[in-house]
Amino acid sequence: MTSSTGSWTASELPVIGAPMAGGATRPALVAAVASAGGFGFLAGGYKTPEALEAEMAALTVPFGVNLFVPGPSTLTEAEFRRYAEELADEGTPYGLELAGAPMVADDDDRWQGKLDLLLDRPVPFVSFTFGLPGSDVVRALADVGTQVLATVTTLGEAQAAVELGVHGLIAQGTEAGGHSGTHAPERPGAVPVVELVRQVAAGTSLPVIAAGGVSEASQVRELLGFGASAVAVGTVLLRTDESGASAVHKDALAAAGPDQTVITRAFTGRPARGLRNGFIERHEASAPIGYPAIHHLTRPLRAAAAAAGQPDQVHLWAGTGYSRARTGPAAAVITELASEL
Ligand SMILES: Cc1cc2nc3c(=O)[nH]c(=O)nc-3n(C[C@H](O)[C@H](O)[C@H](O)COP(=O)(O)O)c2cc1C
């Protein structure tokens, strides 16, 4: 990928394997993206620093790392308890007592440990989602030669990131699969990727990586034409050979009819796009905003349901382009996405 300033020479093709936490992105996927001339990001979210370090050590190609920025939550204990009680019946078949689950609100995803690792073992790019890191973090990473990328979902978020001194922006459109990178989960923006790229490219002078709903070569060409320096894809890699997505997730993507994605907070307390299922239908209307407490509340349920092959209670993250998520080697997907350049 090369930026408009010519300073990005991380890969041959302007196609990026987006970070996908929760198991889908593993080193083999990042290596496969690189083998086709693209550039991949490891997903640092949810991992211990040790687990992230092991993934980094497994790679012999250049790669980036993505981290979740911990943020404040306004979820009250009373709202948490109400939702936990609402979910109680969901857990019963698996022997889970969700109504009595403790509220885990202070999990910072081992933020400092992972930053220390990235300062100790610098990588070319570190991207952040769920908010902006402090300017001290941006400076410290820059001092070790790392370019810092911020995920933004509105022009306002992009402008805040520019003020912070980041080196590039990931313009994540509302079509994107998985958690929205919104800096304001209680009032997320819903800007389509083409519109967002246009706005951010016109309103800032930083390189822009477009993300959200991309599944075809013509979209990659179009987004580069609108001013993106590179295009990131996630969902379209989920069913590939090197993806670590669960079998229940891969099968659900294959089985879903058209236009099945919705944005939901029911699983984690933070808006995310996934395939509509029974859990979302039963709980979306009453689900509170409150990451990470809601994520921790539903995690055992989602793990048990996935192990039991029950897609109805699993977070089936997917962007709007899921029907074109292909099987086979990930390298072939990257090659095809770049075929109109
Ligand atoms: C299963 C899944 C997990 C994701 N996890 C992360 C993550 O850990 N960090 C992040 O910044 N974005 C994450 N995302 C969003 C992607 O990085 C990217 O923005 C998105 O996949 C692009 O849209 P697409 O899925 O339609 O290609 C995830 C997306 C999916 C589908």
Report the alpha-carbon distance of residue 25 to residue 70 in Å, rounded: 21
**Closest residue by CA, ligand 1 atom 5:** 20
Ligand 1 neighbourhood includes 45 CB (under 6 angstroms): yes
Q: Is the pLDDT of residue 223 over 50?
A: yes
- Cβ pair 209, 10 in contact under 8 A: no
Please work out whether the CB of residue 235 comes within 6 Å of at least one atom of ligand 1: yes
Whole-number Å distance, alpha carbon 76 to ligand 1 midpoint, is 28
pLDDT tier, 43 (very low <50, low <70, confident <90, very high otherwise): very high
Q: Is the dihedral of CA 210, 212, 217, 218 positive or negative?
A: negative
| Cα 273 to ligand 1 centroid, rounded to whole Å | 9
Nearest CA to ligand 1 atom 3: 20
- Ligand 1 centroid from CA 100, angstroms: 31
State yes or no: pLDDT of 1 exceeds 70. Answer: no
Q: Is the CB of 224 under 6 A from ligand 1?
A: no
CA pseudo-torsion sign 322, 325, 331, 336: negative
Question: Nearest-CA neighbor of 93 among 252, 276, 312, 294?
Answer: 312
What is the arithmetic mean of pLDDT over 292-319?
98
Which atom of ligand 1 approaches the CA of 130 most closely? 11
Domain architecture of the chain: domains with CATH = 1-70+108-241+325-341 (3.20.20.70), 74-106+261-317 (no CATH)
Give percent above pLDDT 90 in the chain: 96
pLDDT of residue 5: 36
Q: Which residue has the tokens 């389509």?
A: 192
Per residue in 172-210, pLDDT tens?
999 999 999 999 999 998 999 999 999 999 999 999 999
CA of 251 to the centre of ligand 1 (A): 18
Which ligand 1 atom is nearest residue 235's CA?
A: 25
**Sheet-wide strand order for 178-179:** 178-179, 272-275, 261-264
Q: What is the pLDDT of residue 9?
A: 54
User: What's the mean pLDDT when you consider all of the chain?
Assistant: 96
Token digits of residue 334:
């990257």
> What spatial distance separates the first Cα and last Cα of the chain, rounded to whole Å?
13
Residue 2 has pLDDT above 90, yes or no: no
C-alpha closest to that of 176 among 24, 337, 320:
320
Predicted pLDDT of residue 189: 87
261 lines ligand 1 (CB under 6 A): no
Ligand 1 proximity of 43 Cβ (cutoff 6 Å): yes
Give the pLDDT confidence of 99-139 residue by residue, as tens digits: 999 999 999 999 999 999 999 999 999 999 999 999 999 99
Mutate to test the pocket of ligand 1, among 157, 179, 233, 334 (most ligand atoms within 8 A of CB): 179
Dump pLDDT digits (tens) for 237-293. Answer: 999 999 999 999 999 999 999 999 999 999 999 999 999 999 999 999 999 999 999
